Amino acid sequence: MSPNYWAVVPAAGVGKRMGTNIPKQYLPLAGKTVIEHTLDSLLQHPRIQAIVVAVSSEDRWWPECLPQDKERIIRAPGGAERCHSVSNGLECLLSLAAPEDWVLVHDAARPCLRREDIDRLMETLHGHPIGGLLALPISDTVKRANAEGVVLETVNREGLWRAMTPQMFRLEKLYRALREAIAAGVQVTDEASAMEWAGFSPHLVEGYPDNIKITHPQDLMQAEDFLKRQGREG
């Protein structure tokens, strides 16, 4: 029987780098909120069974932003860091999904995700034993600098990619790798790094460059433009 697909959306951040008084996932964007665009992009995919959203216990905005399709949305507790929120979301899925089911982990802060990117991830990784992630090969020259912005070195960009989300892995393997990496005190900023630490080799799938993460104020304007060009206004 073909594995099912599920999603986990970490949405418990405070958006320090955005500098706003509400978390960036609840900021207005192209007629809706950031998180509504993100959830809609996943809800509109027919193969995604349900979405577990990790929300902070102090969150005052979540109930207002629930999309119409509430029955496919499950709330899980957010954690101190993104990896803890994801781990909590995965734990919530263990009772609903099979161990070899696929889970797509996607940042709430990436509202411009395209259907084509989800399809490409699913098609490319069909039958893959582990999984992989959307990413972009780096086409600029890369510099490493000190805290004062002085160049320390030019980094060879050969083979360098920027990781994005969704990152799609087999549920039980990801849950176990993430729990063990967290317990070992490993710095886990994405799901792939936990899988790599566990000895797996995730597969990179090239995605659209407009699948940006809303981090700083200027990212909102860029995302607004991307969504309008795609006709995705609320």
Ligand X SMILES: Nc1ccn([C@@H]2O[C@H](COP(=O)(O)OP(=O)(O)OP(=O)(O)O)[C@@H](O)[C@H]2O)c(=O)n1
Residues that bind ligand X (CB under 6 A): 10-17, 25, 54, 78-82, 85, 107-109, 213, 215
The binder of 25, among ligand LQXTBERG, ligand X, none, by C-beta within 5 to 8 A per type, is ligand X
**How near is the Cβ of 172 to ligand LQXTBERG at its closest, in Å?**
21
CB of 81: closest distance to ligand LQXTBERG in angstroms? Answer: 8
Closest to ligand X by CB, 98 vs 182, is: 182
166 cis-preceded (ω within 30 degrees of 0): yes
With a CB cutoff of 8 Å and minimum separation 6, the contacts of 44 are 115
Q: Give the integer Cα–Cα distance in Å for 151 and 148.
A: 9
189 by DSSP, 3-state: which? Answer: coil
Closest CA to 167 of 137, 195, 200, 199: 195
Q: Kindly report the length of the chain.
A: 234
According to DSSP, the residues that pair with 32 across neighbouring strands are 29
Closest approach, Cβ 109 to ligand X, in A, equals 4
The distance of closest approach from Cβ of residue 212 to ligand X in the complex, given in angstroms and rounded to an integer, is 11
Our CB check for ligand X shows the closer of 63 and 199 to be 63
Q: Which residue has the tokens 């500098």?
A: 19
- Which partner from the list ligand LQXTBERG, ligand X, none does 190 bind, CB cut-off 5 to 8 Å by kind? ligand LQXTBERG
166 is in the binding site of which of ligand LQXTBERG, ligand X, none (Cβ under 5 to 8 A by kind)?
Answer: none
State which amino acid sits at residue 39: L
Residues in contact with ligand LQXTBERG by the rule CB under 6 A: 82, 107, 163-165, 189-190, 213
What tokens does 137 get? 């090969």
